[in-house]
Structure 1
C-alpha cells in the first residue's frame, strides 16, 4: 500500500515518510518506508492520504453512550441519574436481555472499527444492568470481536457495590457475595481467553470503579492478576465524590488503597487518574511519584473528562514524572483524533504554554503507549515484524482544509471519521466508512430503539421517580410537544 505519508517506526519511535509504502503478508508487516524491492501480489495506491498505526483504545465504549444524557445535568438532575437506595434493595433489573446486549456490543465494536481503533479494552455502563457483567456477556463480546475482526483485551466488569442516592445523599451500598461471584466469572473468562487461541481475544481483569470494590475484592483481584500475569484496569482518581467516599470509608487516598491492596504490584491501568491525593489535593505529588515507581499506566480520556468538567493537571507533568500514558475514549464517538485534539489544547491551558501537550506525545500515547501497557511490543507501530494493524486517513477531502504536517493537520482539522480503511492483523475490516462484517443500517435502527428504552429506564431508578422529560429536558422547548399558543397579531417573541 502506498500513500503520500506513512508514519513508520525507526529506532524506537515514529518517523514520517513522504511518498511511502507499507508491505505486509498475512498478519505481519514486512516493510514500512520506501524502496521495497521484493514481489507483491497487489498494490493499492491510497493517494493523498496518511497510513499510520491503528489506535489502541484502552477505555473503549462498548455500549450505547449515556453522555448525551448526563454530561450537562444540573446537580438536582445529576442525583436523579444514580440508582436510588430503594431501587438497589428491591427493584433492580436488567433493562436489556442477552440478545439485546449483544446488539449493543456489535454496534459499539463496529463504531470502534469505523473510527480506526484496532485494539480495544471495553467499558460499558452497569447502570442498566441488574448488577454488572457476566461470563456469558463477555464470551458473546469475544465472539463479536472475532467476527468483526477487532482485537480485544476483555473481561467481565465486576463490583461489590453500587453508587446510590440514599436519603438524598451519595453513598455506596454493597452486596459482597456478588463481588466474589463476579471475580469468579472474571477468572473463568481468563481461562476461556487463554484456551481460545488466535490474537483477537485476550483476557484482562476489569473491575469497576474503586469505590464500588471492597478491600477484600481488591486484594483478591491483585492476587489473581499476579498469579496469572494479566493486566488489571481499575477506574479511580476519577472525581471528588470518589475521594470523599474513600476517605469516609477507609481514611485513605486512592493511591494508598491501591498500595495496601497489592494492586500497585500488578500490571495496573488507571482511567482517568485526574484527582490525586486526598480531598483538596493534599499528597498529590507524592501519589504521582508512587504511580511512576509502580509502573502504572494512566489511561487518559481527555474528551470525556472535559465533558464532565475535569482536566488532567497535567499531561506533561505526569509524563515528566515518569508515569506511562495511554489513551481512551470512554464515550461516544470513539474518536481518538478528537481526543488528541482536546488533549493537546487542554494541556496548553493546564500548563499555560502553547508548547504543552505536544501532538507527537499524544500520538505516541494512542499507539505505542497503549502497546506498552498491554505488554505488546508488536502493536502500535509500523515496522518489520509488527502486527499489520493500520489505518488509512484521507487528507484530500475539501473539509480537511489546507495542510501542513499531516498529523497536526489531521488532529486540528479532521476527525476519525476521515479514516477510510482499517486493517487488523492483516485483515481489512473497514473500507470507506463500511464495516465489512456489520449491517450498519440495521444496527443503527436497533441501537436507537434500545437507547430510547435505556433513557426511559432512568425514571425507575431516580429517587424521586421523575419522568424522562423532566430528567432530560431539551436544549430548547420543543413546541411540537407542548401546548400550542396563539401569538397576537403584530406581536413578536423577539424582544431584542
Structure 2
C-alpha cells in the first residue's frame, strides 16, 4: 500500500493543557501527516515531509484543521432512537423512555439496525472511538462490535447488567450477568479493535450479589475496563443510600463489591463527597464528564477545575441519549458553559484535549486521540468556517485558538469535512 501525506493545519499536544496552558500545544500552519497501513508514521512540517517522501500520495486539505478523531468516553447506543426526549429527571426518564426502548433490543435485527445507524452518525460527527453501554441482551453487544468491525472502529462496550428496579424484560440475575458477560468478553475482548467493558448500569439496578459477581469477573480480567454511573443526581444518591444502608457513600456500593479500580470509568461524578474524591484519586480511576446530559436532565455542575487540578483523570462524553447531541463539539461547548457557571472558563486547548487525549487516557489507550508516530490513523479534517456565522467570527481570529473556538461553540457535523478510520475514509 502506498503511503499518503495528508496536508493541512495541525494542532499537536506535548503536555496536558490543564497544567501547562495553551503552550502545551503546537500549531503547525502548513503541516503533514504521513499515513501508511492504517498507522501514523510521521508528523511534521509539510515541506519537510514532502521532501523526505517524494513517492507518497498527497491529499491536500488546504486550511482545514487535521485533528485526532474525537473520543466519546460514555454513551448508550441503544438510546439513539429516543435522544432528546422531553421533560424528565433521571429515574422517571429511565422508566418513561430508556427502558421501553432498550426492551426492543431483544430483536437482533433491531439491534443491528440501530448499531449501524449509531456508528454512522458518530463518524459523520468526527467521533472515531466510543465507549458504550449496550442492553442486557448479548445480541446488542454483538451488534455493536460487528458494526464496528465492519468500519474498523475502535470501540469499547459491554452488556448492561440489571437484576432489580427495572422491567422484568430487562432483568437478569447475578449468575447470568457473570456468565453472559464472561462469554461476551471471551468472544470480543481484544479481537481486532474491540475491547469488552464490564458494565453494571448503576447500584440501584443491581443487587449486592450481582455487583459482587461482576466484581469477581473484573478481578479475573483486570485488564478490562469497568464502566458505571456515580453521583449523577442528588435524589439518585438518596435512593442508593436507602438501598445500601451500610454504605459510607455512593462509591462504597461499588468499592465493597470489587468495582473500584484504576480501570474503572465512573460517569457523571458530580456530587462527590471528600472521601469519594480521595479514593477515586488514590486508585487513579477515570471520571467521565457528560455535560449536555447533566444540563438536559438537570443533574448539576461537574467540578472540572477542582478535579483536574487535584490530578484526577477526566474524559469527555455525549452520554447519548441522556445527552442531547451526538456531537463532541457540542459536548465541548457544554463543558465550557458549565465551567463558566462554576467560575472557570475552560480554554479551547483544554476542551480539545478532553475530547481527544484526555478521553484516551481515561480509556487507557495511548494508540488513539493523538497524531503521533505509532498511533492509529483515526483523524478528521475540520472546516473552521463551516457556516456563515462561524466564518464571519473566525475571520477576526488572532491565533488558532480564536479560530477554533467558534467551531467548538457553534459547530456541528457540517464542520467535519472528512473522517478517517485507520487511514481509510469513513462513510
Is TM more than 0.5 here? yes
- The one of 261, 268, 293 equivalent to 1:265 is 261
Match of 1:45 in 2: 60
Which of 274, 277, 280 is residue 270 of structure 2 equivalent to? 274
Q: Could you say which residue in structure 2 is the equivalent of 1:189?
A: 184
Q: Distance in 1 between matches of 2:286 and 2:351?
A: 14
Counterpart in the other structure of 1:8: 12
Q: Please list the CA deviations of residues 388-408 of structure 1 after superposition, one character each: whole Å capped at 9, or x if unmatched.
A: 111111124342223222432
Unaligned residue ranges in structure 2 (runs of 5+)? 17-23
The structure 2 residue matched to 1:330, chosen from 319, 323, 333, is 319
1:75–1:24 distance in 2 versus 1, CA, 3 Å: closer
For the 8 Å contact 2:382–2:418, the answer to whether it is kept is yes
Which residues in structure 2 correspond to 1:167-178 (within 5 Å)? 178=173
**1:52 to partner: Cα distance:** 0.4
RMSD: 2.8
Partner of 1:265: helix, strand, or coil?
A: coil
Structure 1 residue 221 corresponds to structure 2 residue 214:
yes
Verify: 1:250 aligned to 2:266, yes or no: no
Alignment of 1:108 onto 2:108 = no
Which residue, 339, 352, 357 being the options, matches 1:347?
339
Retained in 1: the 8 A contact 2:73–2:363?
no
- Cα separation, 2, equivalents of 1:6 and 1:333: 26
- Report if aligned partners of 2:106, 2:139 keep a CA contact under 8 Å in 1: no
Larger Rg: 1
Aligned positions of 1:310-329 closer than 5 A: 310-329=299-318
2:91 and 2:165 map into 1 onto residues whose CA distance is 19
Cα distance per residue 1:180-230 (max 9 Å; x no partner) = 312211111111114x732x2221112212211122222222222232121
Q: Which residue among 377, 387, 394 is the counterpart of 2:366?
A: 377
Distance 1:330-1:79 versus aligned 2 partners, 3 A rule = closer
CA contact (8 A) 2:162 2:172 kept: no
Structure with the larger helix share:
2
Question: Does 2:29 align with 1:18?
Answer: yes
Residue 120 of structure 1: how far off its partner (Å)? 0.8
- In the alignment, the residues of structure 2 paired with residue 181 and residue 74 of structure 1 have an alpha-carbon distance, to the nearest angstrom, of 30
Alignment partner for residue 419 of structure 2, among 419, 422, 436?
A: 422
Asked if 2 retains the 8 angstrom alpha-carbon contact of 1:161 and 1:212, the reply is yes
Match of residue 483 from structure 1 = none
Give per-residue Cα distances to partners, 1:315-362, cap 9 Å, x unaligned. Answer: 111111221100111125310111101111211111x24xx3232222
Q: Is the CA contact (8 Å cut-off) linking 1:389 and 1:425 kept in structure 2?
A: yes
- Cα 1:231–1:96 shift into 2, 3 Å: closer
* Superposed CA offset, 1:137-193 (max 9, x none): 2122211111133221122111112347xxxxxxxx999853431221111111111
2:162–2:201 CA contact under 8 A, matched in 1: yes
1:210 aligned partner? 203
Structure 1's 123 and 334: CA in aligned 2 closer, same or farther, altered over 3 A?
farther
Task: Say if 2:289 and 2:317, in contact at 8 Å, map to a contact too.
Answer: yes
Counterpart in 1 of 2:410?
A: 413
When normalised by structure 1's length, the TM-score is: 0.73
Structure 1, residues 388-444: CA drift from partner, whole Å, max 9, x if none?
111111124342223222432321232343111111122221xxxxx2xxxxxxxxx
C-alpha distance after superposition, 1:434-488 (max 9, x if no partner): x2xxxxxxxxxxxxxxxxxxxxxxxxxxxxxxxxxxxxxxxxxxxxxxxxxxxxx
**What's the secondary structure of 2:237's corresponding residue?**
helix
Q: Any unmatched runs of 5+ in structure 1?
A: 125-131, 165-172, 277-283, 430-434, 436-496
- Change over 3 Å in CA distance of 1:363–1:293 after alignment to 2: same
